[in-house]
Copies of this chain bind each other. A is one copy, B any other.
């Protein structure tokens, strides 16, 4: 009965997920006890097993449900933008907006995802790939529209973009200090990724010719 007013979300399920995010963020997956989460969620230890098969599954569920929300939001917003470069800027902006909105979740995803990716059996992490593929989709669209060089591989570029954003996420969530504002991070990330670190109007104009040249083709 009460489910009717539950908007499709089970109260306890949500409670536990929130408690897990907070606790994993604070102590890390391996240093978090099920009882820590239960205490944070104000439920009994055993109750967690009514909603999640085990500790691994809890992390996976937490991650997938969060990514679902995020992906939906991001795709929705991008659908209103037509210019692919603008889309990329918007993606970056949303990434930092999400971090600001849910610091704990950002921390868990950024810090715990790699481990779980590798060591939780059977976990293929489709959602994360879907998130990355939003980026490569934008890149491909940009390449078709002549806005991104065709020889750059979207599968690599999406990782470059995500890697950069993820690393900036880390300094934001881990640093106690406020050395950089979210806005600083967003602005530099956008500019550096879109336009590159090097100034284009290089008087010598040289470095655009073969930026990827190896040492055998050193320029004079």
Q: State the CA gap A115–B184 with chains docked (Å).
A: 25
**Contact call B211/A190, Cβ cutoff below 8 A:** yes
Among candidates B86, B119, B157, residue contacting A31 with C-beta atoms closer than 8 Å:
B119
Q: State the CA gap A139–B192 with chains docked (Å).
A: 12
CB of A16, distance to nearest CB on chain B (Å): 22
A165 interface residue, CB < 8 Å from B? Answer: yes
A208 interface residue, CB < 8 Å from B? Answer: yes
CB of A86, distance to nearest CB on chain B (Å): 7
Interface residues of A in 111-142 (CB under 8 A from B): 111-112, 114-115, 117-119, 139, 142
Q: A118-B28, A139-B197, A212-B187 are in contact. Are A180 and B155 (CB under 8 A)?
A: yes
Name the B residues within 8 Å of A165 (CB-CB): 163
Among candidates B89, B119, B192, B213, residue contacting A157 with C-beta atoms closer than 8 Å:
B192
Name the B residues within 8 Å of A118 (CB-CB): 28, 111, 174
Number of identical protomers: 4
10 pairs of A and B residues whose beta carbons are closest in the complex: A163-B167, A196-B196, A187-B212, A195-B196, A160-B164, A156-B188, A163-B163, A163-B164, A190-B212, A30-B30
Among candidates B112, B152, B162, residue contacting A192 with C-beta atoms closer than 8 Å:
B152
Among candidates B147, B168, B193, B208, residue contacting A159 with C-beta atoms closer than 8 Å:
B168
CB of A131, distance to nearest CB on chain B (Å): 13
The prevalent SS among residues of A at the interface is: helix
Interface residues of A in 9-39 (CB under 8 A from B): 27-28, 30-31
Interchain residue pairs with CB less than 8 A apart (18): A111-B114, A112-B115, A148-B198, A152-B192, A153-B180, A155-B180, A156-B168, A157-B192, A159-B167, A159-B171, A160-B164, A163-B163, A187-B212, A188-B212, A190-B211, A192-B193, A193-B196, A194-B198
A191 interface residue, CB < 8 Å from B? Answer: yes
Which residues of chain A have a CB within 8 Å of any CB of chain B?
A: 27-28, 30-31, 83, 85-86, 88-90, 93, 110-112, 114-115, 117-119, 139, 142, 146-149, 152-153, 155-157, 159-168, 170-171, 174, 179-180, 183-200, 202, 207-208, 211-215, 218-219
Q: A114-B170, A159-B171, A180-B155 are in contact. Are A198 and B27 (CB under 8 A)?
A: no
